[in-house]
Amino acid sequence: MLRIGLTGGIGSGKSTVCTIFRELGVPVIDSDEIARELVVPGSVALQQITARFGPQVLRNDGSLDRQRMRDLVFDDPDKRQQLEAILHPLIRQEMERQIARLHAPYLILAIPLLLEKGWQQQLDRVLVIDCNEELQRQRATRRDGSPAHTIDRIIASQIERNTRLAAADDCIDNSGSLASLRTQVEMLHHHYLMLGKRNGPPSPQKTL
């Protein structure tokens, strides 16, 4: 299968694009969804996180307090690296497990930190969802209810927009209407179907 890595900054519309691809019958594997599933109460990953960062990262019901965890590691590169060392190998392993069960001309791998972590080397194409930073702020604020300074910190921590666009094989401009967005996704869908048919047997060395 052709592996398409989908990425974009916060509030760019990655989830909406994934939803449209799914409506078109395309397999979508979302690293954020996997990360949430990995840290359910009682999971090995949550036990490791609690052992490393302490019980203060848990809610009263034993689930991970994601906002508290985010605040704890956001401005501390060492703690962020420790958290990623726990989660990223498990995310990669689960993504590969899901890929192995699929049969389709192509699939979408939604990875917000795809470029930041250098995962593009294991993919066939990089699809960037793009919009200007003001739109990112508006959408992220509506979605999360986070204060403006928090959104600005997240944008500043992510790879620069121009660098992201320069790394793209394909780009969707999500600064317009939902209808425009859907049209762009449908055009890429047909393009990827053709590429997927030409792709041939997958290389056994290609792993996340």
Report residue 121's pLDDT band, with 50, 70 and 90 as the boundaries: confident
Specify the pLDDT at position 148: 83
Residue carrying structure tokens 């958290």? 83
Domains of the chain in sequence order = 1-27+105-199 (3.40.50.300), 34-101 (no CATH)
Helix, strand, coil % (nearest 5) of the chain? 55, 15, 30
User: Exposed e or buried b for every residue in 38-56, given b needs 16+ CB within 10 A?
Assistant: bbeeeeebbebbbeebeee
Report residue 126's pLDDT band, with 50, 70 and 90 as the boundaries: very high
Specify the pLDDT at position 168: 97
DSSP code, position 101? T
- pLDDT digits over 22-73, tens only? 999 999 999 999 999 999 999 999 999 999 999 999 999 999 999 899 888 8
Specify the pLDDT at position 145: 78
DSSP code, position 116? T
DSSP reduced 3-state for 127: strand
- Over range 173-180, report the average pLDDT: 96
